[in-house]
Structure 1
Amino acid sequence: MKHSMRCCLIEFEDDSSEFIIRTGVLDGKFFEERDVDWDVDFDFVIIPSFYNSHIHLGDSIAMDPPPMELEELVGPGGYKFRILEAEKSRVPSAIKDSIEYAVRYGTTSMTEFREGDLEGLSLIRDGFEVLAIFGRPSTLESAEKMLEGVRGFGMSSVRDHDYAFLEDLRDLARKKDRMFGIHAGEKDSLDVEKAIALQPDFIVHMNMADKKSIEECMDAGIPIISCMRSNFFFGLENRKNYRIFEEYDRWCIGTDNVMIANPSVLSELNFAGYIVSPENALKAAYRGFEVFGMKPKWVVLDIREMKNSRNLIASIVRRANHSNIVRVVDEILIE
Structure 2
Amino acid sequence: MSGFDDSDFVRLLEIIDQTEKERRSETAGNFSKSTLEDGYGDYGGSYDRVVSGLIFAGTEPDLIYGNIYIEDGIIKEIEELSGSQMKSRNWIVPRFINAHTHIGDTLLKDPPLGPDITPYAYKRDLDSLVRPPNGLKHRFLSDLSQEAAIDSMESAIWDMYQNGISVFADFREGGLSGVAALIEASKNAGRGIHPIIFGRPTFSGFDSAASGSDFSASHLFLDELRDLLDVADGIGVSGTNDLDEYILAKIAAKTQSKRRRLAIHAGEKDRSDIEPALSLDPDLLIHMTHAEESEIKIAADREIPIAVCVRSNLVTGVGLPSILSMLDAGISVCVGTDNVMLNAPDMFEELHFLSKIYGISDATLFKMATSNGADALGCRFTGSIEVGKKADMMVLNAKSLNLKHVKDPLAGFVRRARADDILGII
For 2:357, what is the secondary structure of its paired residue?
coil
Identity among equivalent pairs (%): 30
Please show how residues 1-16 of structure 1 align to structure 2 within 5 Å: 1-2=32-33, 3-5=37-39, 7-12=53-58, 16=59
Task: Tell me what 1:187 maps to.
Answer: 269
Structure 2 residue corresponding to 1:169, chosen from 216, 237, 251? 251
Q: C-alpha distance in 2, partners of 1:285/1:167?
A: 31
Q: CA RMSD in A?
A: 2.2
Q: Which deviates more from structure 2 when the two are superposed, residues 53-62 or residues 19-28?
A: 19-28
Is the Cα contact below 8 Å between 2:311 and 2:353 reproduced in 1? yes
Structure 2 residue corresponding to 1:127, chosen from 186, 192, 195? 186
Specify every segment of 5 or more residues in structure 2 that has no aligned partner in the other structure, as ranges.
1-31, 40-51, 72-76, 115-124, 188-192, 204-220, 383-391
Q: C-alpha distance in 2, partners of 1:249/1:184?
A: 15
Residues 210-267 of structure 1: per-residue CA shift (max 9 Å, x gap):
111011111110010100100011112326x022234545111101100001112222
Please show how residues 249-260 of structure 1 align to structure 2 within 5 Å: 249-260=331-342
For 1:275, what is the secondary structure of its paired residue?
helix
Count the aligned residue pairs: 323
Q: Which deviates more from structure 2 when the two are superposed, residues 218-227 or residues 121-130?
A: 121-130
Q: C-alpha distance in 1, partners of 2:175/2:148?
A: 18
Q: C-alpha distance in 2, partners of 1:25/1:176?
A: 42
For 2:149, what is the secondary structure of its paired residue?
helix
For 1:273, what is the secondary structure of its paired residue?
helix
Residues 242-299 of structure 1: per-residue CA shift (max 9 Å, x gap):
2223454511110110000111222222222212323222211112212222333111
Is the Cα contact below 8 Å between 2:179 and 2:199 reproduced in 1? yes
CA 1:36 to 1:182, structure 2 compared with 1: closer, same or farther past 3 Å?
same
Is the Cα contact below 8 Å between 2:172 and 2:199 reproduced in 1? yes
Q: C-alpha distance in 2, partners of 1:211/1:249?
A: 12
Choose between structure 1 and 2 for higher RCO, CA contacts under 8 A separated by at least 6 residues. Answer: 1
Task: Tell me what 2:422 maps to.
Answer: 325
For 2:56, what is the secondary structure of its paired residue?
strand
- 1:140 deviation in Å? 1.9
- 1:123 deviation in Å? 2.2
Q: C-alpha distance in 1, partners of 2:226/2:67?
A: 51
Structure 2 residue corresponding to 1:34, chosen from 55, 64, 81? 81
Please show how residues 144-223 of structure 1 align to structure 2 within 5 Å: 144-223=226-305
Q: Which deviates more from structure 2 when the two are superposed, residues 268-277 or residues 155-164?
A: 268-277
CA 1:202 to 1:164, structure 2 compared with 1: closer, same or farther past 3 Å?
same
Is the Cα contact below 8 Å between 1:246 and 1:280 reproduced in 2? no
Task: Tell me what 2:152 maps to.
Answer: 94
Task: Tell me what 2:200 maps to.
Answer: 136
Q: C-alpha distance in 1, partners of 2:253/2:325?
A: 30
Residues 296-322 of structure 1: per-residue CA shift (max 9 Å, x gap):
311111122434334321211121111
Structure 2 residue corresponding to 1:24, chosen from 66, 72, 84? 66
Q: C-alpha distance in 2, partners of 1:170/1:106?
A: 33
Letter in 2 for 1:312: P
Q: Which deviates more from structure 2 when the two are superposed, residues 54-63 or residues 123-132?
A: 123-132
- 1:193 deviation in Å? 0.7
Q: Which deviates more from structure 2 when the two are superposed, residues 305-314 or residues 149-158?
A: 305-314
Letter in 1 for 2:81: R
Q: C-alpha distance in 2, partners of 1:34/1:279?
A: 22
Task: Tell me what 1:333 maps to.
Answer: none
For 2:185, what is the secondary structure of its paired residue?
coil
Is the Cα contact below 8 Å between 1:55 and 1:254 reproduced in 2? yes
Q: C-alpha distance in 1, partners of 2:135/2:53?
A: 49
Task: Tell me what 2:409 maps to.
Answer: 312
- 1:119 deviation in Å? 2.6
Letter in 2 for 1:218: A
- Larger C-alpha radius of gyration, 1 or 2? 2
Q: C-alpha distance in 2, partners of 1:113/1:223?
A: 16
Task: Tell me what 2:113 maps to.
Answer: 67
- 1:37 deviation in Å? 4.9
Q: C-alpha distance in 2, partners of 1:96/1:142?
A: 25
Task: Tell me what 2:365 maps to.
Answer: 281
Specify every segment of 5 or more residues in structure 1 that has no aligned partner in the other structure, as ranges.
330-335
- 1:26 deviation in Å? 6.4
Is the Cα contact below 8 Å between 2:38 and 2:88 reproduced in 1? no
Structure 1 residue corresponding to 2:344, chosen from 258, 262, 286? 262
Q: C-alpha distance in 1, partners of 2:240/2:351?
A: 29
